[in-house]
Amino acid sequence: MPSNVEIKARVDSVSLFAQKASALSQSDGTVIKQQDTFFHCSQGRLKLRDFMNGSGQLIFYDRPDTDGPKLSNFSISPTSDPQSLREVLSAALGVMGEVLKERRLYLIGQTRVHLDTVEGLGDFMELEVMMRPDQTVAEGQQVAEELMRQLDVSEASLVSGAYMDLLLQKANALQK
């Protein structure tokens, strides 16, 4: 199963982060609109990513919900009919919730750098260090920590869990 080392953090200045990521990647990044539907499952997380263009991906992943760099194991299956797959999975498993976001993707070495604007939550960044078979988790964490430094991502801005978790926490807080 493929794996990566991930971190997620809040972003105070989208323009400043984008400027630094553009300089490091030597690109303006690629804008991707995404609708992620999370389904109930007994272990890990299962989501359907709809790219809003007739294509999508069914993604299963398992990772700890902690701050800082962490190992994530995942499997991805492409789909050319995300709407129909969403209906089947919704009926079979039930929907936990949905995350709508606009993502700007930068590629820096072996790392996917995401600058995300998440509906209802705000602006975030994610680093996904795509692990090579010969790399240790510690080496992947070192790559992530170095990029955090180069992008001026502070430890205080780190976030644990998925966007879905943050949206559910926000909804629960509003109900109280």
Q: What is the pLDDT of residue 68?
A: 82
Q: What percent of the chain has pLDDT over 90?
A: 91
* pTM, entire model: 0.92
Mean pLDDT over 153-176 rounds to 92
Domain 3-175 is classified in which CATH homologous superfamily? Hypothetical Protein Pfu-838710-001 (2.40.320.10)
pLDDT per residue as tens digits for the range 94-145: 999 999 999 999 999 999 999 999 999 999 999 999 999 999 999 999 999 9
**Structure confidence at residue 69 as a pLDDT band (50, 70, 90):** confident
Distance in angstroms (rounded) separating the CA atoms of residues 17 and 14? 5
**Hey, which residues does 155 pair with through a beta bridge?**
none
Strands (E), the chain: 3-10, 30-39, 45-50, 56-62, 70-79, 95-108, 111-118, 122-130
Structure tokens at 2: 């493929």
Domain boundaries, the chain: 3-175
CB 44 within 8 A of CB 72: no
CA-closest candidate to residue 40, choices 119, 83, 94, 120? 94
The yes-or-no verdict on residue 64 having pLDDT over 90 is: no
